[in-house]
Amino acid sequence: MKKFITSEVHNFKMVNSRTIMIQAQEFQLTLHDIHGEGMVPNESFLVAIIIDKLPPFWKDFKNYLKLKQNKIGIKDLILGLRLEDDNKLFKMRA
């Protein structure tokens, strides 16, 4: 089971055609499975994986997050994604 879950994390891809929050929630479910198997990955590592998995449309925000000096946790990352998603939707409607 651990190999299967690890493979899910590795193969997870975010796409432009689906909302970022739904995809982030799906990834969080995979993280829940990881913890359920007794694996405790480093939070900074998980944040880096999520950032790396962001779709091409999120390139600027992805670069911003990679260059950010402060350490960011998963909860803060998800909040940032939600805010950026709202901003992108607002710009598209304007």
Residue 18 resides in a domain: no
For residue 39, being part of any structural domain is answered with: no
Parent domain of 83:
62-94
What pLDDT sits at residue 81? 93
| pLDDT tens column, 43-87 | 898 899 999 999 988 999 999 998 887 889 989 999 999 999 998
In a domain, residue 67? The reply is yes
Structural domains of the chain, count: 1
Each residue of 61-74: b (16+ CB within 10 Å) or e?
A: bbeebeeeeeebeb
Per the CB < 8 A criterion, the answer to whether 51 and 66 are in contact is yes
DSSP H or E stretch at residue 62: helix 59-67
- Using CA atoms, how far apart are residues 53 and 12, in angstroms rounded to an integer? 7
pLDDT at 89: 81
Q: Which tops the pLDDT comparison, 94 or 88?
A: 88
Is it the case that residue 94 has pLDDT exceeding 80? Answer: no
- Position 10 scores a pLDDT of 86
